[in-house]
Structure 1
């Protein structure tokens, strides 16, 4: 597992990753660094002499998941990204690890050790089984909440949004009812369908079916109007606008 492909649109991030990889093992070979979906698809369609791909998720021309729709990658993939909301999607493809930026040497060493331990799994037969399992990974389809002395089960599809108020996290149904849930927003990302829910900022995760309107806001940000009353404005963080638009398009 010596030949490595890096798909990363930030030069400094690519150089840092390469430096950590060579520090881990000086015999590793970075055979190419690609910075866009189009470049990656073209290269991967014409080369097979690689063992593992380190892949950023947000590239100059979209989300790197699109690469898997345009070419076959039958080699392990290690994602590196600044965003945690794509973890479920990442493991629907042949990903073995999900490293959050800013990456450290410890992160890379751990990922490479995991890769080594799983090496025997990565052949065309076993890999297809891994991918199949990932594609059928279950997400949470209902939440239990307390209503006085009673416990109520709410279907996930009935939830308009989740939001944090201080350390407390609530869910709001499309009927406008609000309940406390025993989850952090960070934990909810891995429990919810990535196609149905999106974390637009630190405080809100919204259901696509609850969006009533999207308004262009100041400084190229977006304001979201949902079907229920929200005490606070729901503004898409500037660094998530591109990903939000891609999600909204259904990619």
Structure 2
């Protein structure tokens, strides 16, 4: 089975590809694409694959923008943090809608549905019954370390996370800094995407802690937090993340 992955985050794309091979060794990933423009260019210059695995929110728009520019009857399995696009996904030939962080068992079940339906004319009423809409479960509290002491920090009391010299710090709303045993990539899957956003390679922020968004050099944005303990120069939204941030903040 020939597959294409459309996923803006490299770590998520690599994880998905590894899980696909574990679920079904017959899968051949033809391409990993990150955005609308990349995907449209690829589809216009290559034969159609057997299936697509795609996130809704891409680096330069949404997956729906791809199919405004190309005609497609390729089966789709959506993999995303955003549950609110589930019904919209039926505008595509959607086989399943997996909320991150999904398990290998959930992915395997989606692939079995795909094998079951391949070669048949899809009945959208039947597909609607096949698609699962799991309720997302995000981490509600974190274990933070200061010296040899451990503390519980509620997710609602977190202003931001910052990676520095391979250590990830949690900055709480009450002015403390803790070390946490998670990478930023792991945190992206553990945190509620309605509240938390990765603004650059080093920082994830809580929308409830943002006081102001200011224009910055080279079409970037800089955040002013109510309190973070982080230098404002570290709270700069990278240029490629600015369009996604604006969509997220205005959701």
In which range does the TM-score fall when normalised by the shorter chain? Answer: 0.5 to 0.7
Change (3 A) 1:118 1:19: closer
**1 CA distance for matches of 2:173 and 2:239?**
26
User: Is the contact made by 1:88 and 1:194 (CA closer than 8 Å) also made in structure 2?
Assistant: no
The offset of 1:227, in angstroms, is 1.3
* Corresponding position of 1:182: 181
2:49 corresponds to which of 9, 17, 21: 21
* Corresponding position of 1:231: 231
5+ residue gaps in structure 1? 25-34, 58-62, 80-86, 98-110
Matched ranges for 1:23-62 at <5 A: 37=64, 40=67, 50=73, 52-53=75-76
Deviations 1:172-213 (A, max 9, x none): 001111000001101110000111000000010000000010
The offset of 1:53, in angstroms, is 3.0
* Corresponding position of 1:12: 41
Instruction: Give the total of aligned pairs.
Output: 198
The answer to whether residue 137 in structure 2 is matched with residue 138 in structure 1 is yes
The offset of 1:38, in angstroms, is 6.2
User: Is the contact made by 2:171 and 2:177 (CA closer than 8 Å) also made in structure 1?
Assistant: yes
User: Is the contact made by 1:162 and 1:172 (CA closer than 8 Å) also made in structure 2?
Assistant: yes
* Corresponding position of 2:195: 196
User: Is the contact made by 2:77 and 2:94 (CA closer than 8 Å) also made in structure 1?
Assistant: no
Change (3 A) 1:70 1:19: closer
In the superposition, the TM-score normalised over structure 1's length comes to 0.61
In the superposition, the TM-score normalised over structure 2's length comes to 0.61
Deviations 1:81-121 (A, max 9, x none): xxxxxx739x7xxxx87xxxxxxxxxxxxx9xx73575348
User: Is the contact made by 2:211 and 2:225 (CA closer than 8 Å) also made in structure 1?
Assistant: yes
Matched ranges for 1:153-192 at <5 A: 153-192=152-191
Change (3 A) 1:196 1:221: same
